[in-house]
Structure 1
Amino acid sequence: MSIEAVVFDIGNVLIEWNPERVYDAAIGEARRAELFATVDLHGMNERVDLGENFHGQVAALAEAHPDWTAEIMLWHDRWIEMASPEIPRSGRLLRALKARGVPVFALSNFGVETFEIARAHYPVFAEFDALFVSGHLRMAKPDAPIYERLERDTGVAPERLLFTDDRADNIAAAQARGWQVHHFTGPQGLAGRLVAEGLLSEAEAA
């Protein structure tokens, strides 16, 4: 069945997401490893992705771990560096789809405040026809309700959606609902899939 719309994850699809890289540069790999083993920064980030306040969550974690306060606050103060750089070819593919009249949706685990920071930094965020952001919806991938919400709000049948994400668990959850999927490992692979589906020509996908 032909694809009617393409759904993009954002982190590690349209922009890189690599907090460890920023911490390694700031405090060294060994101390970063100790920090991440001691303090559940990714767990805190998951709460932000579900709609908790970004500054409040980082500050509370810093207060709970006074030996690591300065390091934890880097998550807040240097967040945009962790969510960078842009993956330019992915953005070009998104714009090429729009130019062909193919609807493009975002389905992303993202905090309310952090999404606004990123949206101000990356013009490609304004290109989507619809946004499904976990922090606003207070539901996240790979749980089924956020996929169901996209289906219901867009009116596109599951089998006519093509979803690309870098995480296998998010892909599996979409596939279980009947979506077409592409496990993103780089823009070259996504470009090939879009050409194979007849959504873009080779020239448009270059």
Structure 2
Amino acid sequence: MNLPMIWFDFGGVLSPPLRDLYLAYEAKTGIAPEQLQDAMREVARGMGLPTLAPVELGLLTEAEWGRRLRSALARLHPGADLSRARLETFGEQWFDGVTANPVMVGTLRHARENGFRVGVLSNNVPEWEPYWRAIIAPAGELDCLIDSCRVGARKPDEEIFRRAEKEAGVAPGDCVLVDDLAENCEAARRRGWRAVHFRDNGRAVAELRAVAAVPSIL
């Protein structure tokens, strides 16, 4: 029996939880998570898109998105101090000081060492690639990378799963997604994939063992 290919999300799986990243950004800039998320939603709403879709699909450059974020923050939260926020080069400041989730990076590496093909399937931004690639460098080589901004589709849209299958040369039933968002896991299952909803390291490792027979590293 062929081993399935395991696809890991970056944000919230291979990286620290998103709530931690938002709090770290607040410490760097003084912008509260709810303020930043309000502005992100406002920029996307003006384009009729989900919150981060404008940059995750490469429809706006990081610089233009940052300018729109700054304008939205000033309008929605006029008392906010934006002087420390480098919004036009958002990724550099967002990822500064961020380190990988060591258990999930170790799990990816461990899976590959045990004969599984491994990939990253992520909604991400072109200008942010140097930063997140450096964060997950300890994971080693990937068999495949599917990035929303490169393929023009983002999770939970079915097209990104179809593109992943085609790029890797695998059938839906031979894919397992590890993702921190339930809607992405549900979309993967509708496509015929197996999925592990990441909530914490221990449960994710146990579920990977159950659904894909990945030997535990814990």
Task: Give the TM-score of the pair, scaled to structure 2.
Answer: 0.79
Q: 2: distance between equivalents of 1:169 and 1:114?
A: 24
Alignment of 1:16-35 (within 5 A): 16=16, 17-18=18-19, 19-26=21-28, 32=32, 35=35
Residue 175 (structure 1) shift: 0.5
Residue 72 (structure 1) shift: 5.0
Secondary structure at the counterpart of residue 131 of structure 1: strand
Specify the code of the residue in structure 2 equivalent to 1:20: Y
Figure out how many residues of one structure are paired with residues of the other and give that number.
201
Q: 2: distance between equivalents of 1:144 and 1:22?
A: 32
Specify the code of the residue in structure 2 equivalent to 1:53: T
Question: 2:53 is matched with which residue?
Answer: 46
Is 2:75 aligned against 1:73? no
Specify the code of the residue in structure 1 equivalent to 2:5: A
Q: 1:61 aligns with which of 69, 84, 102?
A: 69
Query: Please, what is the CA RMSD of the aligned residues?
Result: 2.8
Alignment of 1:1-206 (within 5 A): 3-16=3-16, 17-18=18-19, 19-26=21-28, 32=32, 35-36=35-36, 39-40=39-40, 43=44, 45-51=52-58, 52-63=60-71, 66=74, 69-70=82-83, 73-74=86-87, 76=90, 77-81=92-96, 84-124=98-138, 126-197=140-211, 199-202=213-216, 205-206=217-218
Distance change >3 Å, CA 71–CA 180, structure 1 → 2: same
Specify the code of the residue in structure 1 equivalent to 2:192: G
Specify the code of the residue in structure 2 equivalent to 1:55: A
Task: Give the TM-score of the pair, scaled to structure 1.
Answer: 0.83
Report which stretch shifted further, 89-98 or 193-202: 193-202
Structure 1 stretches of 4+ with a deviation exceeding 6 A read none
Of structures 1 and 2, the one scoring higher in RCO (CA 8 A, sep 6+) is 1
Q: 2: distance between equivalents of 1:127 and 1:198?
A: 20
Specify the code of the residue in structure 2 equivalent to 1:194: L
Distance change >3 Å, CA 181–CA 59, structure 1 → 2: same
Conserved in 1, the CA contact under 8 Å of 2:100 and 2:135? no
Q: 1: distance between equivalents of 2:140 and 2:215?
A: 24
Residue 65 (structure 1) shift: 5.2
Give the gaps of 5 or more residues in structure 1: none
Percent identical among aligned pairs is 27
Secondary structure at the counterpart of residue 200 of structure 1: coil
Specify the code of the residue in structure 1 equivalent to 2:55: V
Residue 158 (structure 1) shift: 0.8
Distance change >3 Å, CA 186–CA 119, structure 1 → 2: same
Secondary structure at the counterpart of residue 83 of structure 2: helix
What do the CA deviations read for 1:24-61 (whole angstroms, capped 9, x no partner)? 32465xx6267337523684743111113212321343
Specify the code of the residue in structure 2 equivalent to 1:73: R
What do the CA deviations read for 1:155-191 (whole angstroms, capped 9, x no partner)? 2111121111000110111000111111011221122
Conserved in 2, the CA contact under 8 Å of 1:15 and 1:85? yes
Conserved in 2, the CA contact under 8 Å of 1:58 and 1:72? no
